[in-house]
Amino acid sequence: MSAQQAVLELRSSASSASAATLLTTSAAAPVLAQKPRTRFYSSWSPRWLALPFPLFLLLLWYAAAQFEWVAPQVLPSPQSVLLTFVDLVASGEMFDNLKISLLRVLLGFGVGLAGGLLLGVAMGLSPVFKDYVYPLFKAFSQVPVLGWLPLLMLLVGIDEALKIILISKAALVPIALNTYKGIENVPARYVEVARVLKFSRWQLLTRVIFPAALPPIWNGVRYGFTHAWLALVVVELLASSEGLGYMIVFGRQLFQLDVVMAAVVVVGAVGYVLDRGLARVEIVLLGWRRSGF
Amino acid sequence: MARSSSGNSHDKHPVPKFLRGWILPALLLLLWWLAVKFNWSTSPLLVPVDKVWDTAVAQFRSGELGIALEASLRRDLIGFAIGVGAGLAFGIALGLSRLFERLIGPTFHTLKQISLFAWIPLLSVWFGLGDPAKVAFLSLAAFFPVVLNTFEGIRSVPAELVEAARVLKFNRRQWLFKLILPAASPSIFSGIHLALIYAWLATLGAEYLLVSGKGIGNTMIDGRELFLMDLVIFGVIVVGFVGFALNWLAARLERRLLAWRGRSVAQF
Amino acid sequence: MSQAGTLDIQHLSKSYPVKDGDLAVLEDVTLTITPGEFVSIVGSSGCGKSTLLRLIVGLEDDYRGQVLLDGERIVGTSLRRGIVFQEHRLFPWLTVENNIQLGLLNADLTPGQKRLAVREHIALVGLEGFEKSYPHQLSGGMAQRVAIARALVSKPEILLLDEPFGALDALTRAYLQQELHRIWQAEGITMILVTHDVEEAIYLGDKVVVMEPRPGRIRRIVPVGLAHPRERAAVGFAEVKQEVLREFSGDSASLAAPPLRSGAAEPDEPRQWRFAI
């Protein structure tokens, strides 16, 4: 830290004499066993700095609603959003809808995860299987999840099946792709070690291939989950009669933007929590990787 | 357990390699054709294969495809450009200024948690239902990945290069253009690539949710409402092609501009 | 003390199919290695020495001639033949002791015996205290020592070493050469070392096999009759070194030509490997 301040003072000091003294003092100071961080910007950054900006926005919002700079249907006041939120939680409506959304996304993601892993593993381990399946798979993956929506709507209507299929497709593609590539890219070096140590096929799979392929597979899982969550929200916005997305749409129809905002906040919060959860799991699974600095 | 250093020489499978990829699609098409021929279903949804082709040709000829595609792509690219531009600026600010990052960063990171499409209803109230709302939404879709990846890229500039620049007495401008941006460019390109994907996804979503005007998404929605399976299938194929073209373009650009890196990250 | 094996290589030849015909990588290599011997193999790039090692350990097949261990023809890989590669190839997701334990995965021992063996070998390579470390926390030399422990823990009859110290700095290399020598004396197994460092070859080996390229074959076998511990600065050492180097000086053309593309090249990109399904 002291070397840090020395740099700052060096830059701001005009005289070379003071610069020279700073250099000598910092040279005399004990060397910290610290890797040089990328310090080319000012580094004054106390924690509380996170607060002013959101507070400012909040204030702006409050004022805008209070003085009706825009119609209340367009911008409800922060108090009304808070009240509505409390209302929805108290009446149980929030939890009901949240529960439905969560169940949907977990089910859809589960299906997509299972399918994606299976497909990815099959393509990764069997080049013949990959030759048959990959081109078609690649073609299908060119169409984003939403592109399939009208087609699926025609085929299966608008009830649960639609949502689960869409969500699982959203998760399946990145998971399958990353799993396949992850397995394919396992360095031959490790496989040779396994051969020399006479690993059985099963041992090779479980002790070499999967640990080595786990980082890219996990990336695929996280990406797949993000997409699953995205698909959930969209499909609930478009074709649902319950769930968080439905709340948003419903509130919007009735110009009850406070309901919309409350639901949006919950969508954000849940998305955050789930993502953090996945990050936690990642630390456990992949803690052996050297952490970047 | 066998291993082969070439992959080909140990192949004992009867079907030659280059044919294998075609078998499944061919089978599917065959099944489809059989289903039509033998009336496996009386649903109007079971359209014959050639009807899709006819529809495609009709769409193409009448210019409807052109209009829809042009509308969708125009919005896509405008929104993409705005989002990327704003995203780069914001991301660079976040990366370079610790102060800025501390002030605005947390708010940004919180907002980015909100699933993209949840923004649409709010945007539709604030911007209406037409093109402005859609473009605003697309910009948002492109904005987030660009900011995140740019920020990440700038933060990961190796300390060794920073020190070299210090020794070479770079001025502010040189810092940015000769060190930071080039060093962060792989990440920045990843971000732009992602932004392209998300923007295309968002284009479709916007057309579904803000139903007004023309676009490929609208074409498909129309097809669905009128139970015109052939139109919908046609739309799916077009969407797939555009997605593929965009991906390919992005990968080519990335490879060209990042050739100094050796191995490209754009594998998919 | 492990049981040492007799290795008998008879008229070993290997070639790779290339565009116009076959590229001979090894031609008519005949070599006998007695139990407990330390054999160094030197040669310029492309002389097939790594290919030879890979054939002996069983990572490559499709050759002409015979390789016999204790009179039995070798088939594929085996725990009786261990190998240490140039890169340590430790599994990054396992600790040091778990990496070493991999060598015993398919050994016929109780878990208790395995733990004991692992502990013994950690002590053998001098890495006590690092049992729970991960590979990325180790220096290059330490990681290579773990690789050696992993190769030895299953008590093979032969240990093959393919330029094991090539990626290390000179000081670490010198230290590890001493260590390898000590381990060899302690374990008493047959060791075959491939290296391009002539001094290393003489320091460690009972005999030095000099190979030449295009096609790869044995040029000469130089016995090293010096007593241990060997002094690199001693006259006797220098004489043997002269003898070996002389085999190279007449072959200056081979030094200028590009190396053969043998299968022993360690590419950075993952090489194609496949399950047979």
CB contact under 8 A, A151 and B232: yes
Q: At a CB cut-off of 8 Å and minimum separation 6, what does C237 contact?
A: C202, C203, C226, C230, C231
C-alpha distance from B4 to closest chain C C-alpha (Å) = 6
How far, in Å, CA of C86 to CA of C88, rounded?
Answer: 6
Q: Is C197 helix (H, G, I), strand (E, B) or coil?
A: coil
Q: Are A100 and A247 in contact (CB under 8 A)?
A: no
CATH of the domain at A279: 1.10.3720.10
How far, in Å, CA of A177 to CA of A118, rounded?
Answer: 11
CB contact under 8 A, C274 and B2: yes
Rg of chain A over CA atoms, in angstroms? 27
Set of chain C residues whose Cβ sits within 8 Å of the Cβ of B263? 269
CB contact under 8 A, B4 and C272: yes
| Residue A47 shares a structural domain with residue A97 | no
Whether residue B41 lies inside any domain: the answer is no
Whether residue A99 lies inside any domain: the answer is yes
Tell me: the pLDDT tens digits for A114-155? 999 999 999 999 888 999 999 899 888 888 888 898 888 888
Q: List all residues of chain A from 251 to 270 with a beta carbon under 8 Å from chain B.
A: 251-252, 255, 257, 260-261, 263-265, 267-269
Q: Above 80 in pLDDT, residue B265?
A: no
pLDDT, position A36: 41
C-alpha distance from A32 to closest chain C C-alpha (Å) = 20
Q: How far is CA A209 from CA A186, A205, C93, in A?
A: 6, 5, 12
pLDDT, position C6: 87
| Residue A101 shares a structural domain with residue A198 | yes
Element (H, E) at C21: strand C21-33
| Residue A87 shares a structural domain with residue A5 | no
Give chain C's residues under pLDDT 70.
1-3, 250-277
Q: Count how many domains chain A has.
A: 2
Question: Which is more confidently placed, A167 or B215?
Answer: A167
**Which of A188, A190, A196 lies closest to C83 in CB terms?**
A196
**Ramachandran bin of A45, using left for φ above 0, alpha for ψ from -120 to 50, beta for the remaining angles:** beta
| Residue ranges making up the domain that contains A144 | 82-286
Whether residue B12 lies inside any domain: the answer is no
| Test mutation, A190, A196, A201, A214, chain C, max C CBs within 10 A | A196
pLDDT, position A123: 93
Tell me: the pLDDT tens digits for A36-69? 444 455 556 677 777 888 888 888 888 888 887 7
**What chains are in contact with B, requiring at least 3 Cβ pairs below 8 Å?**
A, C
CB contact under 8 A, C276 and B2: yes
| Residue A46 shares a structural domain with residue A108 | no
How far, in Å, CA of B92 to CA of B110, rounded?
Answer: 19
Set of chain B residues whose Cβ sits within 8 Å of the Cβ of A42? 97-99
Q: How far is CA A146 from CA A165, B107, B217, C273, in A?
A: 12, 29, 9, 37
C-alpha distance from B11 to closest chain C C-alpha (Å) = 9
Q: Are C109 and C120 in contact (CB under 8 A)?
A: no
Question: Which is more confidently placed, B174 or A221?
Answer: A221
pLDDT, position C214: 81
How far, in Å, CA of C20 to CA of A96, rounded?
Answer: 73
Of the candidate ranges A206-210, B134-138, C19-23, the one whose mean pLDDT is the lowest: C19-23
Whether residue B183 lies inside any domain: the answer is yes
Question: Which is more confidently placed, B88 or A286?
Answer: B88
CB contact under 8 A, A233 and B247: no
Q: Where are the domains of chain C?
A: 7-80+157-256, 91-155
Whether residue B2 lies inside any domain: the answer is no
| Residue ranges making up the domain that contains B109 | 52-261
Whether residue A75 lies inside any domain: the answer is no
Q: What is the mean pLDDT of residues A85-108?
A: 90
pLDDT, position B60: 83
Give me the total of CB pairs closer than 8 Å, taking one residue from chain B and one from chain C.
20
Q: How far is CA B111 from CA B30, B99, B187, in A?
A: 48, 19, 21
pLDDT, position B90: 93
**Which of A144, A204, A272 lies closest to B201 in CB terms?**
A144
| Residue A113 shares a structural domain with residue A224 | yes
| Residue A153 shares a structural domain with residue A12 | no
Q: Count how many domains chain B has.
A: 1
Whether residue B247 lies inside any domain: the answer is yes
| Contact with chain A for residue B128, Cβ under 8 A | no
**Which of A57, A146, A201 lies closest to B204 in CB terms?**
A146
Whether residue A65 lies inside any domain: the answer is no
pLDDT, position C118: 94
Mean pLDDT of all residues belonging to chain A: 80
Whether residue B9 lies inside any domain: the answer is no
Residue in chain B lying closest to A229 (CA): B115
Please check whether the domain covering C7-80+157-256 is classified as CATH 3.90.1150.10: no
Q: List all residues of chain A from 89 to 118 with a beta carbon under 8 Å from chain B.
A: none
Set of chain B residues whose Cβ sits within 8 Å of the Cβ of C273? 3-4
Whether residue A137 lies inside any domain: the answer is yes
Query: Which band of pLDDT confidence, cut at 50, 70 and 90, is reported for residue B11?
Result: low
pLDDT, position C164: 92
Query: Which band of pLDDT confidence, cut at 50, 70 and 90, is reported for residue A110?
Result: very high
Set of chain A residues whose Cβ sits within 8 Å of the Cβ of B47? none
Set of chain A residues whose Cβ sits within 8 Å of the Cβ of C274? 127
How far, in Å, CA of A137 to CA of A78, rounded?
Answer: 47
Tell me what percent of the residues of chain B surpass a pLDDT of 90: 17
| Residue A146 shares a structural domain with residue A16 | no
Q: Which ipTM score applies to this complex?
A: 0.79
CATH of the domain at B132: 1.10.3720.10
Set of chain C residues whose Cβ sits within 8 Å of the Cβ of A193? 85, 89, 91, 102
How far, in Å, CA of A170 to CA of A149, rounded?
Answer: 11
C-alpha distance from B3 to closest chain C C-alpha (Å) = 5
Cα A179 to chain centroid, rounded: 18
| Contact with chain A for residue B114, Cβ under 8 A | yes
Whether residue A68 lies inside any domain: the answer is no
Whether residue A180 lies inside any domain: the answer is yes
